[in-house]
Structure 1
Amino acid sequence: MIGLLVVLVLASAFFSSSETGMLAINRYRLRHLARSGHRGALRVERLLARIDRLLGTILIGNNFVNSYAATIATLLAIRWFGNLGAALAPVAITLILLVFAEITPKTFAARHPEKIAFAASGPLRLINLLLAPLVWVVGGISNGLLRLFGFNAAKPADDNLSPAELRSVVNEAGPLIPAAHQKMLLNILDLEEITVEDIMIPRNEMVGIDIEDDLDHILDILRNAQHTRLPIWRNDPSNLIGTLHLRRVSRLLMHNEVTKADIMQMSSEPHFVPEGTPLHRQLINFQHHRRRLGVVVDEYGDVMGLVTLEDILEEIVGEFTTDMASSSPDLLPQDDGSYLVDGTAHVRDVNKALGWDLPRQGAKTINGLILEYLQDIPESNSAFRLGDYLIEVMHVKDHMVKTARLTHSPR
């Protein structure tokens, strides 16, 4: 009988560790291994597809062996100690089951769920078949009770990750994902929170061709352009009529044979982008329309600026420079730790370059941020505090802040 008791305790440990291993296994790694053809993973995935039946099999088996073990322990105790053994048996068998059949196997299974789940999947599948009628009856009663409370145990659980949860998974990946790749993955997840206005080249900084200008001036722009694609407008950037790829006119430029008619003929229709378009959507639009340059327009159809495919890619892979704060022409570090910032600089760019947390809701530029906070056009040399930042207006011209001094000064 002692041998039988040992077998029952081991069987109880098997069921306990199987339950913990099955429930603690990483579902996404399991799915990956199953798709790779791993036999153990395939068995576990099939068992977990009906979690109610799996739990029914484990709990029926576990309760059966525990009850049987308690009966055997009581008989042995009575044989050895008489009536006193009947009182000692429940205490002894409880301690034995807790240590050897519950805490120890479950702790090991929680640390190594794959080893336990894969090894136990074969026997559990066989036990599931043998106990199928009993599992069906018990499961039917249990599922009926759950339906009274509005739950459907047969319905698969929704284990899809939200963007915030996926971001947490990437952050906690540690050495499994290189730091550079981790940053790129996080940047991709952030694309849906960033709109084209956050990264566009504003209208007042657009470099393009006014087709009504003198031809010599247009040729000078073409020869000195730092971009491969230029917008073309008539009299005003709001009247945008096309975009020109410089590669198309490079041969004519070499022979000074370019005319306005050639420019118009070689230009393509502009690709307009509504304001508020998330970057992940615009990236798909660029791919779908086979474009690399988009013209951002507001609800009235007025041109707000330009957004390029390269700008979106930089949001994923990062800026093509190692020290944004020192290389940006919009940020000039001062000896006292402050920064002279151009009013047209984007708030988001300043935050990224300096690791700050200036408000990004609403205004996109430093000038817009100041005007939005003050609700007025400030005078030069005026200053105010915005959260943990001191902002001093240095120069105002044409109803906008041209330069401001920003200092990070926590309260």
Structure 2
Amino acid sequence: MTDVLLGFLTEYWLSLLSVICLLVISAFFSGSETALTAASRSRMHTLENNGEERAGMVTRLIERRDRLIGTLLIGNNLVNILASSLTTSLLIGLFGDSGVAIASPDRFALAVAPWVRPFVAVVGPISSLVNAIVRRILHLFGINLSSDLPMLTAHEELRGAVNLLHREGSVIKADRDRLGGVLDLGELEVSDVMIHRTGMRAINADDPPQTCVREILESPFTRLPLWRGSADNIIGVVHSKDLLRALAEPNVEPETLDIVKIAQKPWFVPDSTNLKDQLNAFLRRKLHLAIVVDEYGQVQGLVTLEDILEEIVGDIADEHDIDIQGVRQEADGSIVVDGSVPIRDLNRALDWSLPDEEATTVAGLVIHESKSIPEERQAFTFYGKRFTVMKRVKNRITKLRIRAAEDEGQVG
């Protein structure tokens, strides 16, 4: 038996050595994938700034995560197939543990990056070709993936991680909502957060000057649109500080003040502008208010810098704000809501998940789901909630009661 085994090893030692080497290479690919995909980009950025050249190499590799993973998988599969073929030809059951226990992904990533980089450079085009074929096949089924974006979006990964930490108690709800607000800026439009034209406070330029002055000074808002002839004809924006400076000039009285001369030129923005672009535009122009118009140029409302910031940090209140939340908790557990309350605000306040893709306000959601303009005392159940119309003014739902659908049967 010993002689047979010795002869076998003598004849096939090269094949056995090859299988062992291939298993080591497979372990290298598996460990590289684990380390590079788990490496901290922030940690690599810090190390690169501190002069670690390999950290920059790691950062460039993980910027195209789909290309990196595809390349490593191709290499690993080639190695495994070759090892399996040699093993089969030898008629032996060599099953080595090719896994690598990684104590520090960042440290291992730094070590393997110089070796992985040239392999990615050579095999990367093959991986890109495979990804292109996959995208083409998905496109035939109506699924479109941008060719310049990784298949896994960083936003969704980050949002999922924060939600997981929140469920585990490591992140409080307020911090989760703030981060979610930042991530949502590029997905929301100005029309989602604007003050609708029906709720705008504006000044009529044709009113007597003293009336305009009184309305501006009594308003809780620092900036007010100025219109003439029609509320759709916005001709300027009056800042209360400009008004006070004008009144401080010699020989200027409220009765003789020309309100149009102190008004700033209005800035009109499309209602389809996303909030990220609008926030950048506010900061670039150093302005705080814009008039929102639709595709026909009709005034739809106004949006302020504060409206966008509140999407991130929640309601911003100061000593001059009118405290109208529009949401009231009842003793029976139901919620009484003004129809104009934004769905996003309600979701954030109560940790609900009502959809806001088709409607912006709670009243709009009820109208969209019921496919009608409900009468008072009509009730509807959807998304696990029971909506009862409490008050309607003309065609506007102004107040609703919302309770959990499962609680409906318990209420007399």
**TM-score with structure 2 setting the length:** 0.69
Structure 1 position 26 matched with structure 2 position 36: yes
Residue 196 to residue 382, structure 1, CA distance change in 2 (3 Å): same
Q: Distance in 2 between matches of 1:227 and 1:305?
A: 15
Q: Distance in 1 between matches of 2:326 and 2:363?
A: 12
Match of 1:366 in 2: 362
Q: Distance in 1 between matches of 2:293 and 2:128?
A: 54
Letter in 1 for 2:101: F
Q: Distance in 2 between matches of 1:146 and 1:405?
A: 54
2:405 pairs, out of 384, 403, 409, with 409
1:215 pairs, out of 209, 222, 244, with 209
Query: Which of 1 and 2 has greater Rg?
Result: 1
Displacement after TM superposition at 1:219 (Å): 1.7
1:245 pairs, out of 205, 219, 239, with 239
Displacement after TM superposition at 1:240 (Å): 0.9
Could you tell me whether the CA contact under 8 Å between 2:381 and 2:405 is conserved in 1? Answer: no
Unaligned runs of 5+ in 1: 71-85, 152-157, 322-326
Q: Distance in 1 between matches of 2:208 and 2:336?
A: 37
Q: Distance in 2 between matches of 1:390 and 1:210?
A: 42
Match of 2:137 in 1: none
Indicate the SS of the match to 2:201: coil
2:271 pairs, out of 272, 275, 300, with 275
Structure 1 position 304 matched with structure 2 position 300: yes
Could you tell me whether the CA contact under 8 Å between 1:22 and 1:44 is conserved in 2? Answer: no
Letter in 2 for 1:291: L
Q: Distance in 2 between matches of 1:343 and 1:248?
A: 35
Structure 1 position 172 matched with structure 2 position 182: no
Could you tell me whether the CA contact under 8 Å between 1:21 and 1:114 is conserved in 2? Answer: no
Displacement after TM superposition at 1:382 (Å): 2.9
Residue 401 to residue 144, structure 1, CA distance change in 2 (3 Å): closer
Q: Distance in 2 between matches of 1:309 and 1:334?
A: 33
Displacement after TM superposition at 1:288 (Å): 3.6
Q: Distance in 2 between matches of 1:47 and 1:347?
A: 41
Could you tell me whether the CA contact under 8 Å between 1:18 and 1:117 is conserved in 2? Answer: no
Could you tell me whether the CA contact under 8 Å between 1:195 and 1:278 is conserved in 2? Answer: yes
Residues paired across the two proteins, number: 360
Displacement after TM superposition at 1:210 (Å): 0.7
1:118 pairs, out of 99, 102, 110, with 110
Match of 1:191 in 2: 185
Displacement after TM superposition at 1:20 (Å): 2.2
Displacement after TM superposition at 1:229 (Å): 0.9
For residues 137-187 of structure 1, give each alpha carbon's deviation from its aligned partner in whole angstroms, at most 9, with x where no partner exists.
Answer: xx79x9899989987xxxxxx794468542323432677996566543332
Indicate the SS of the match to 1:390: strand
Match of 1:81 in 2: none
Residue 253 to residue 178, structure 1, CA distance change in 2 (3 Å): farther
1:38 pairs, out of 44, 52, 59, with 52
Q: Distance in 2 between matches of 1:362 and 1:54?
A: 41
Structure 1 position 346 matched with structure 2 position 339: no
Residue 282 to residue 150, structure 1, CA distance change in 2 (3 Å): closer
Matches within 5 A, 1:375-386: 375-386=371-382
Q: Distance in 1 between matches of 2:73 and 2:328?
A: 65
Q: Distance in 2 between matches of 1:149 and 1:337?
A: 52
Match of 1:79 in 2: none
Matches within 5 A, 1:223-238: 223-238=217-232
Residue 56 to residue 45, structure 1, CA distance change in 2 (3 Å): farther
Letter in 2 for 1:381: R
1:334 pairs, out of 330, 333, 339, with 330
Displacement after TM superposition at 1:265 (Å): 1.4
Match of 1:200 in 2: 194
Match of 1:399 in 2: 395
Could you tell me whether the CA contact under 8 Å between 1:18 and 1:116 is conserved in 2? Answer: no
Unaligned runs of 5+ in 2: 1-5, 134-146, 318-322
Could you tell me whether the CA contact under 8 Å between 1:271 and 1:291 is conserved in 2? Answer: no
Displacement after TM superposition at 1:209 (Å): 1.0
Q: Distance in 2 between matches of 1:380 and 1:314?
A: 32
Q: Distance in 2 between matches of 1:182 and 1:226?
A: 31
With 265-274 and 30-39 compared, the bigger mean Cα shift is at 30-39
Could you tell me whether the CA contact under 8 Å between 1:15 and 1:58 is conserved in 2? Answer: no
Q: Distance in 2 between matches of 1:396 and 1:58?
A: 66
For residues 220-244 of structure 1, give each alpha carbon's deviation from its aligned partner in whole angstroms, at most 9, with x where no partner exists.
Answer: 1122121111110114321111001
Residue 189 to residue 249, structure 1, CA distance change in 2 (3 Å): same
Q: Distance in 2 between matches of 1:21 and 1:305?
A: 56
Letter in 2 for 1:107: V
Q: Distance in 1 between matches of 2:130 and 2:245?
A: 78
Q: Distance in 1 between matches of 2:126 and 2:336?
A: 69
For residues 74-99 of structure 1, give each alpha carbon's deviation from its aligned partner in whole angstroms, at most 9, with x where no partner exists.
Answer: xxxxxxxxxxxx99xx56xx36xx1x
Displacement after TM superposition at 1:112 (Å): 3.6
Displacement after TM superposition at 1:297 (Å): 1.5
Q: Distance in 1 between matches of 2:307 and 2:365?
A: 22
> Considering only aligned residues, what root-mean-square deviation do their CA atoms show, in Å?
4.8
